[in-house]
Structure formats: C-alpha cells, structure tokens
Amino acid sequence: MVRGLTYLLLFQLCGEIISRSLDLPIPGNVMGMGLLLFGLIVGLVDVKWIEEAAELLLSNMTLFFVPAGVGVMVYSDLIVAEWLSITVATVVSTFVVMAVTGVLAQKLETNRDDDVG
C-alpha cells in the first residue's frame, strides 16, 4: 500500500516537473497519469505495485471532490448577481456535450461493429 502510494505520488511529481519546466498547459496530475500508463505499457512499472493503492483511491474518488465543491460558498455573491446566464449556460451546455459526444461515439461504434461484421 505504502509502496503503491509512493509510486503514484512520484509519477505525479514527475508530471509536475515536466509540466512546469516545459510550461505546458497540461497539469502535473494528468501528465502523471500519462507517464504511469506509459510506464505500465513498456513494463517499467509492474501493475501489482500500484494496484492496491490505485483501487483504494479510485473507489473513494468522489469523496475528494467534496472540499472543492464547498469552495463554491466563497463566490456565492458573484453567482447570485449573474445567476440566469450562468445557470442556463451551465445546465444546457452540460447536456449538449453529453448528447454530442455520446451520440457521435455510439454511432461510430455501431458502424465499426457493423464493419467487423
């Protein structure tokens, strides 16, 4: 467990270093995800080393968003002042994106399966 967490944090650190030193628009943790995936695929990292720690974090991931959401309370005045445009744009756009990506991917996926026969 400790070993797994250490690996995850080290990959995040590597991601942070690359992202910051090259001034990339990708944050360190997303970069770290890419690096770890690469490490797993080329065999640099054994999946057994990280499995337990990764599963523990992933199965509780929703909990980690709670403090981020509580941060909303600090900006409640701003949201109240322009609530209409903010609410409509956020809600409608959330569904538009799901529909566009979902329907397009589902269509392409069905066609692909047809091609395969």
Partner 1 sequence: MWAELVQTPLFGIGLTLVVYLLAQTLYRRVNSVWANPVLVAIFAIILVLKGTGVEYRDYARGGDMILFLLGPSVVALALPLYQRREEIWKRKRLILIGIFAGSLASIISACGLAWILGGSREVILSLAPKSVTTPIAISIVDKIGGIAPLTAALVVLTGCLGAVCGPEFCRRIGVTSPVSMGLAIGTSAHGIGTARMLEVNRLAGAAAGLAIGLNGLMTTFLLPILMALFGF
Which residue is it, tokens 């609530």?
83
Q: How many residues bind partner 1 (CB under 8 A)?
A: 71
The Cα-based distances of 47 to 4, 7, 12, 99 in angstroms read 10, 11, 17, 35
Residue type, 80: V
The answer to whether the beta carbons of residues 3 and 49 sit under 8 Å apart is: yes
| Smallest separation, CB 18 to partner 1 (Å) | 13
Q: Is 18 in the site for partner 1 (CB under 8 A)?
A: no
**Quick one: which of 2, 41, 42, 80 contacts partner 1 (CB under 8 A)?**
41
Q: Is 44 in the site for partner 1 (CB under 8 A)?
A: no
Q: Give the per-residue contact string, 79-108, with partner 1 (x = CB under 8 A; - = no).
A: x--x-xxx-xxxxxxxxxxxxxxxxxxx-x
